[in-house]
Structures are given as C-alpha cells and as structure tokens.
Amino acid sequence: MKNSRLKKEFIKERQFFLASPAILWQILFLYIPLLFLIGISFFRSFEYFSIKHVTLDNYKVLLTLSYAKIIGRSFLLAFFNAIFCFILSYPVAYFLALRVRRFKHILLFFLALPFWTNFIVQVYAWFFILDYHGLLNSFFLKMGIISQPLHILNTPIAIYIVMLFCYLPFMVMPIYTSLSKLDTFTLEASFDLGATPWQTFSNITFPLSLSGVQTGFFLVFIPSFGEFVIPTLLGGGKLMFIGSMISYFFLETRSVFLGAAFTCLSGLFLIASALFILWLFKKLFR
Amino acid sequence: MREIRLVNITKKFNDELILDKLNLTIPSGEFFALLGPSGSGKTTLLRLIAGFEHVDGGSIFLGKKNITQVPINERKVNTVFQNYALFPHFNVFDNVAYALKVRNVPKDIIEQSVIQILQKVHLEKQIYKSITQLSGGQQQRVALARAVINKPDVLLLDEPLAALDLKLREKMLVELIELQDALETTFVYVTHDQFEALTVADRMAIMNQNGQIEQVGTPEEIYEFPRTSFVAKFVGSTNIFRGTLKIEEKESYLKIDDLGMFKVLLPKHKAWVCDDCTVLMSLRPEKIEISKKKLEGFSNCLEGIVESIVYHGRSTQYHVRLKNDFLVKVFEQNEEHFPQEEIDYDDKVFMYWQKENVVLLEK
C-alpha cells in the first residue's frame, strides 16, 4: 500500500532525472569543493589534517580591523552599486514597459547588446574612456567643463562607474518583466479614483513591480559583492576587496587555509547581509 | 447628480474614425444603457467620458461644466471596469478605501464609509480578505463599492457582468438597480447584451457598427417602436419585410411582392410616409398567432409551411417558409400542458397579426 504510493510519487518525479546531469555537475564541481573549502578553513596545514587538529585559529587571525574593512568595503560597493543600478534602471524599465509601443523589441535588443561582447573586453574598453588622456577627459576639456584632465582611472570612482555599466542590464530586465506584466487597467482605476500620477506610482505601480526590483537588487548585489575583475583592473590594485583578497591569499601568499577561512567568513557575511536586506524589503514595503 | 452632455464628439484611432460628431445627452440620476454590437465604439465613448482617452473634436459637459480637458483624477466620474481592475496587492478594505485615502480623508471617516458601503454590497464579512480569495461575483461587488464610495456624479460600468455566469448575472442586475436607486447617481452601463440593457435601463441608446447612435429611448420605446431596422433587429428578434405603401381613404396597405396586401397603421408626421413609397415593416415573432385553422378577427394573415420547430421551454420557435421563399420566425408561448393543436414539420399553417402590432420603418 505504502509502497505503491511511493512508486506513484516516484513516477511523478521522473522528470527529476532529466535534471540529474546538471545536478551531478554542480555536485562535483561546486558543492563538493565548497564543502572541502569549508572543511580546510578549520585546519592550519595539511600536515596536521586530522580531527584532533581542528582549530578556529584561522578565524581568530582574521578578526582584525583591516579584514573587516575589506569586507565592509565590498559590502558598500555591492550595496551602492545595486542602489545606483536601481535608480538608473527603473526609469528605463518603466519607459520600455509602459510607454514604448513601437520599436520595443529593438530597444530591448540594444539593452542586451553588451552581452554580445566579452566582459573583459568591455572592461578594457573603459580604460580608453577613463584614461588621463582618454575619451572622457578630452571631451570635458573640449567642452570647457574642466581645465585640466581628471584622475579617474585607478580610483574608486572608476570602479563604481564600470560596475554600474556592467550590472545595469541585470537590474533593468527583471524590473521590465514585472512592469510589463502589470495590468494597465489598475493604473487607470487608480487615476479614475482620484489619485495623482505620483500617488498612482507610489501606491500601485511601484508596489506591483517590487518583486522585479527585489530580484534585480539581488542579481546585482550578490555578484557585485565578490566582484574581482573590475576592482582589480580599474582600481589599480590600490583598494582591496574580498575578490582581490581571496586571490591574494590563494595565488600570492599561498596561504590556502587562511584564504579558505576568509572565503567562508565573507560568504557568511554575504548571506547575513542578503537576509537582512530581504527582511528590510518586507519591512519597508509591506 | 448631474447630466452628461456629449457635443459633436469625434474620436480617431490611427486615422480610423471611431466616433464622428456624436451627440448624446445622458439625463441626471438615470440608469442609462449604451447598447451596441462589439466594435460600435460604445466602450470608446465610455473611456472618453471617464477621461482615459482624449477627444479629437467636440466637448463633454458634466452638468454645466465643460470637462473635456479636465484630467481623469479630477473628474467626478468613476468607472467599474470589465475585468474589475482591482488592486491585487491590497485587501478588500484597502481597495474600497482607495478613493478616500488618496484624498487624505481622516482614518475614522474612511473606516466608517468603507463598512457602510460594504454592507450595501453584502461584503462586510470579507472586509480583510485578500482579493485573490474572492469569487468572481464578490470581486465584482468590491469593484462596485470601490467606485461608488466617493459618491461620484456619474458611475460608468463597462460590461461589468460579462465574466459572471447567467444566474449570478441576473442577481447582480437586480442589485445594481437597487444600488442605483439608493445612490441616485447617474449610471452609464455599456453592454452588448440586450437582455441586460432592457432589464436595468431607465433609458437606453442604441449604437450601430459605425459609431452612430440610432435611437435613444426607454426600453419599451426601443423594443416596441424601433425607428430603424438596425434597432429592430439588434434589440430582440424580428421579421423584416420590404414593400410599397398604398394609402387609401379608409385603410392603408403595404404591398409586398408575391405575398399580397397587408393592412398597416401609418405613423404620423413622417416625411417618408407617402403613397407608393418603399418602406420596411418589422413584425416581432411573438406578435404572431400561429394556427392550422382559419381564425377570425385578425387584420392580416399569411400562409406557409413549417420548416423547423425549436422547443425553448416557455416558448416554441417556428420557422415558416412562405411562398416567396421568405422565412418567418414565430414565437408561441407554451400555455398548456396539452396543446389543443399539434403543429408538426411540413404542416401548412396560417399566421395572423393585428395591424397595430407592426412597426413601419424608413430604413
């Protein structure tokens, strides 16, 4: 009796096996290495690799202000990058979803066009724009806005500019999707009932697009937190972020165990901050 | 409680003329139905009154005030949408309270009004339920309550019952009439369903495919005295004959080719009524008496062969083929369990009617 029910459930879930190659791949190359990483963060070296040598020493070493600063800096970069992306994306998504009638597909195509170029190539292209003798400075000089070129490259500003550029589509797309699913009759109803355009936006449009905003926020926030390429290349290596710190541990000083502990610590912080932001979303908008 | 006056309203969509110089007055405090086939521009007309669309010409007056350029949110006109357009992220209370909330009405007054209006539409038990938990009929009632809470001068209803089943629709129609009585607001009800329009309306306008208004009148006037064959055919069903008028001293006749002469009553003061003029005659199926026997006391009689019989329960519909191949529709009320006369397929029957019971039409 129970057996046959189990069998039924089993048959119902048969499609599960279609997903098994991908899941196997993930298990082999993500989850097992991750577990291994977490494991070695509690050891000091391979010579003392047994249960009685489990230690929290790595973590104790990391509990200093300079490492906290690195994590904090990464958090701020990710957080503000997500905020800036949101501020710039919302009008774009709103316009695309609710105002544009013709040429919508062409505009969406333009939005996706950056994905056709390799990420590293895009980042290098920014060198030519932000350089001391680059496009931006010569443009500003010609326009007479500045009298002397600005130092943008190798500063946090360069990091923020390029991060914003690279992550913008990840914010626009989910907001666009949620806004285009919006029933425009509800907006008409809001006006009809006496609401001003601003009241309609804050009471109806924005709350109904919140799921898109939330998705976009995390699509930007989480990868930004561990972003390695942009801060390293455009920040001139002057400022450490968690991405560059981890690579420093593993590749430069070869302190694998400390690096593993730092990775775990950053990961924990990321999970905690993501949960906090999720809670904040619920608190603020519900 | 104000009347709506539409003066020379013109509306185009992509160079296609939807409404051309339309004039219509909707009297204050009436339940007014706009009836027309789909594509007749009746919803467009409603959206123009609400302010969702802008006119390409003409003016809209609410009472004495010209509201043509007044933005949607400042018109004292509210709408019940066909798909209800309820706010899915609000519960019943917040949906209904919306119109007051955006006007910054004090909280305790909002609460009182919401409870009061929800009692009127029998939803006081659902006040804190989410919209998705409600049935179609309940959602309809929320939409109604939401639209009337701020006491608009005019309430526009765009096919509000289209999504409900027949029984619920009949019930809601009665509730709508009661609500209109209680509120004394002008209701403008757009529908393509003649049954709904005839049921609810104090007065109705019939629109044709070209966005023109064919006739305005009470449901009875529209049904019994249609002015055009479009109205006669669209509201209810009818048999239309074309013939030539023969006006004699004592009696007037309509001469129909191959069928003969039929006594008619002439409408007064109509320019198109003249001897030898071609006119149309509308004869409603229920105004015809059908029998296999010769009957006395009727002004007119036609002869034909029964081609089909459809039993509807309370009535039976016959299609009778005339000798000129014309098909006449007849409704006969089923008054008795055991009819004295059985009419069967291919029977030869006589159809009788009184001359007062037909309507002559110009076109």
Distance from CA of A282 to the nearest CA of B (A): 13
Question: What mean pLDDT comes out for the span B28-40?
Answer: 91
Contacts of A101 in chain B (CB under 8 A): none
Say if the Cβ atoms of A194 and B102 lie within 8 Å: yes
- Domains of chain B listed by start with CATH number: 4-226 (3.40.50.300), 239-361 (2.40.50.140)
Distance from CA of A200 to the nearest CA of B (A): 9
- Name the residue of chain A whose CA is nearest to B97's CA: A193
Model pLDDT for residues B62-101, shown as the tens digit of each residue: 989 999 999 999 999 999 999 999 999 999 999 999 999 9
- Picking from B4, B100, B102, the residue whose alpha carbon sits closest to that of residue B48 is B4
* Nearest CB to B89; choose among A189, A195, A208: A208
Say if the Cβ atoms of A196 and B102 lie within 8 Å: yes
Chain A interface test: which of B74, B79, B148 (most A C-beta within 10 Å): B79
pTM score, whole prediction:
0.82
Q: Which residue has the higher pLDDT, A55 or A222?
A: A222
pLDDT at A101: 82
Say if the Cβ atoms of A192 and B72 lie within 8 Å: yes
Between chain A and chain B, the number of residue pairs with CB atoms below 8 A apart is 65
Residues 6+ apart with CB under 8 A from B120: B145, B179, B182
> In this structure, what are the phi and psi dihedrals at residue B253, rounded to the nearest 5 degrees?
-130, 155
Model pLDDT for residues A196-231, shown as the tens digit of each residue: 999 999 999 999 999 999 999 999 999 999 998 899
Chain A interface test: which of B79, B102, B154 (most A C-beta within 10 Å): B102
Distance from CA of A66 to the nearest CA of B (A): 45
Task: Specify the DSSP class assigned to residue B203.
Answer: E
SS3 category, B239: strand
CA-atom Rg of chain A in angstroms: 24
Handedness of CA B267, B273, B275, B277 (dihedral sign): negative
Mean pLDDT check: name the lowest of A153-157, B262-266, B335-339: B335-339
- Position of tokens 């901050």? A273
Question: What mean pLDDT comes out for the span B168-194?
Answer: 90
Distance from CA of A192 to the nearest CA of B (A): 5
- Domains of chain A listed by start with CATH number: 55-285 (1.10.3720.10)
- Name the residue of chain B whose CA is nearest to A186's CA: B85
